[in-house]
């Protein structure tokens, strides 16, 4: 809680940093309406205190004229205090919410404070500056005399966020996991090769995103990208869908219809869930890959297939070959370059990155203002095993967006199946799951994946070794020694 000067008097609001000792007592008194106690602070001393706060602070009267403007506000906006005092706040800040969604106006109308709302302002040099604002009503002896707003400069936070996105984002694929980073490193060479690519991974791990990345990075990027879900159609329809047909090939075929291979000429065709096709269709696909030609249904002339083929499956093809359920010659033909995508349960360090990505996406799609997830919600989301992988996490965030009106996503906004998991685990007298429990699970997962190698686990999580060791110590994680004993760092 911090105190703002209007004229020669101090008024309290709940948007700034707390003050200790005698000052804190006077601030609390002012907040409770005891203005006389606040008057005990001299104007000069209060001005010094307000100017020492590293958050911008300004106050307005009921006519929206700025009545005070601290040093941090000058630094963030680039506008001198003498030039701001007496001006309308919208003329000084030129924020993206001034015209339609002014937070301070909403606070004065409803009496409800706004906390940590992210907005953009335009500074004196015309640059767009991201800030986080909090607002409160100013009262004197129960009478509203204006409003107060504090704001923090988020430029550094925004720059760090963009750096993280740049570092851990490749074509729309987001990950800091070491296995995924190795795949990122492979992608340019794989894309340039022109060879057939096999992408293996469970449903929802992002196989089509990788296929699109291969296409976008390849010399065929100007050509079409055509995706076919081979598991969604019966064999008879899939064959005509892939290769097309000519008029008269069957009763209803009154005109020629090009197949997906024809539509993908000069580009890339992505055959998703290839393991689900029948042995008969496997033979036809083998011919396309070997001879680079195909014949439409009812056709008598081979057509050249000038396409790059990328295939995917969520099944263990090598095992299917041994069981005789998938042709070995087709397997060897498609298994030229193979990329194996890890499930989300093996890359939990990516969950916060993915959550932020989906929140940003849905904020734009739904025109909402969700800031993030609470520590308790993050603990639940990090503890979940995600059998549906990244797609399941995206659906969870979309569900939360439908229920959360704004601010932070809380546990109550998550799907029902995630609600009991926390309640069942919390026994009487035990604290609920916290951010620390989620962090502990992520670190333990990294250690187990790397056979308790500390340096490898730190690299896996993308953090410096000293940061990793500090977190292990603070969380009280016991690490096994070579002789099987456990030791705390």
* Separation of alpha carbons 252 and 423, rounded Å: 59
In 96-142, at which residue ranges do the beta strands (DSSP E only) sit? Answer: 114-122, 128-140
Q: With CA atoms as reference, report the closest residue to 139 among 4, 321, 328, 300.
A: 4
User: Measured between alpha carbons, how far is residue 154 from residues 124, 129, 131, 135, 258 in Å?
Assistant: 17, 8, 5, 17, 53
Instruction: Write out the DSSP string of 254-304.
Output: -S-EE-HHHHTTTSEEEEETGGGS-HHHHHHHHHHHHHSEE--BT--S-EE
Q: Which helix (H) or strand (E) holds 3?
A: strand 2-6
Give the distance between the most distant pair of CA atoms in the chain: 99
pLDDT tens for 347-361 read 988 998 899 889 988
Q: And the tokens for 319?
A: 């095992």
CA angle (363 as vertex; 357, 368 as ends), nearest 5: 150
Residue 423 above 70 pLDDT?
Answer: no
- Band (pLDDT 50/70/90 cuts) for residue 42 is low
Please give the domain boundaries of the chain with CATH numbers for all domains.
Answer: 2-153 (3.30.450.20), 163-342 (3.40.50.300), 345-433 (1.10.8.60), 437-488 (1.10.10)
Hey, which residues does 122 pair with through a beta bridge? 128
Half-sphere exposure of 233 (CA within 13 A, CB side): 15
Q: Are 2 and 15 in contact (CB under 8 A)?
A: yes
Residue with tokens 């709302």: 117
Q: What percent of the chain has pLDDT over 90?
A: 33
pTM, two decimals, is 0.61
End-to-end CA, the chain: 38
* Separation of alpha carbons 440 and 334, rounded Å: 41
Q: What are phi and psi of 229, to 5 degrees?
A: -85, 100
pLDDT tens for 210-236 read 999 999 999 999 999 999 999 888 877
22-26, 180-184, 406-410: which is most confident: 180-184
Q: And the tokens for 147?
A: 């409003």
Q: Tell me, what's the pLDDT at 96?
A: 65
Q: Tell me, what's the pLDDT at 114?
A: 82
């Amino acid at each position: 809680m911090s105190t703002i000067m209007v004229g020669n008097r101090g008024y309290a609001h709940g948007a700034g940093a707390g003050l200790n000792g005698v000052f804190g007592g006077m601030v609390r008194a002012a907040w409770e309406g005891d203005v006389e106690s606040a008057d005990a602070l001299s104007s000069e001393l209060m001005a010094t205190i307000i100017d020492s706060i590293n958050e911008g602070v300004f106050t307005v009267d009921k006519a929206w004229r700025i009545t005070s403007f601290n040093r941090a506000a000058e630094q963030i906006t680039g506008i001198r205090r003498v030039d701001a005092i007496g001006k309308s706040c919208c003329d000084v800040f030129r924020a993206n919410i001034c015209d339609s969604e002014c937070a301070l106006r909403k606070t004065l109308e409803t009496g409800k404070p706004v906390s940590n709302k992210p907005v953009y302002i335009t500074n004196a040099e015309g640059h767009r500056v991201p800030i986080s604002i909090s607002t409160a009503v100013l009262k004197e002896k129960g009478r509203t005399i204006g409003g107060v707003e504090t704001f923090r400069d988020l430029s550094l936070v925004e720059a760090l966020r963009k750096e993280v996105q740049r570092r851990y984002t490749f074509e729309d694929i987001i990950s800091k996991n070491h296995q995924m980073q190795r795949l990122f490193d492979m992608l340019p060479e794989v894309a340039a090769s022109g060879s057939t690519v096999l992408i293996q991974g469970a449903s929802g791990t992002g196989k089509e995103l990788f296929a699109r990345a291969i296409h976008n990075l390849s010399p065929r990027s100007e050509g079409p990208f055509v995706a076919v879900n081979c598991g969604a159609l019966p064999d008879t329809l899939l064959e005509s869908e892939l290769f097309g047909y000519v008029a008269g090939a069957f009763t209803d075929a009154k005109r020629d219809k090009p197949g997906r291979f024809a539509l993908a000429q000069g580009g890339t065709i992505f055959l998703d869930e290839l393991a689900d096709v029948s042995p008969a269709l496997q033979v036809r696909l083998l011919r396309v890959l070997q001879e680079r030609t195909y014949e439409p249904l009812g056709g008598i002339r081979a057509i050249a297939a000038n396409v790059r083929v990328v295939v995917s499956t969520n099944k263990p093809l090598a095992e299917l070959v041994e069981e005789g359920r998938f042709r070995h010659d087709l397997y060897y033909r498609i298994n030229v370059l193979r990329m194996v995508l890890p499930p989300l349960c093996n890359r939990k360090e990516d969950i916060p990155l993915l959550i932020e990505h989906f929140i940003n996406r849905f904020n734009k799609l739904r025109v909402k203002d969700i800031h993030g997830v609470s520590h308790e919600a993050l603990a639940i989301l990090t503890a979940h095993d995600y059998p549906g992988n990244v797609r399941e996490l995206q659906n969870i965030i979309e569900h939360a967006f439908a229920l959360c009106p704004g601010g932070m996503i809380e546990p109550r906004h998550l799907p029902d199946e995630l609600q009991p998991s926390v309640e069942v685990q919390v026994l009487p007298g035990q604290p609920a799951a916290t951010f620390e429990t989620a962090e502990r699970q992520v670190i333990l997962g990294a250690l187990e994946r790397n056979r308790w190698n500390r340096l490898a686990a730190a690299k896996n999580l993308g953090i410096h070794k000293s940061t990793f060791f500090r977190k292990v110590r603070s969380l009280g994680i016991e690490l096994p020694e070579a002789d099987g004993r456990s030791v705390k760092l």
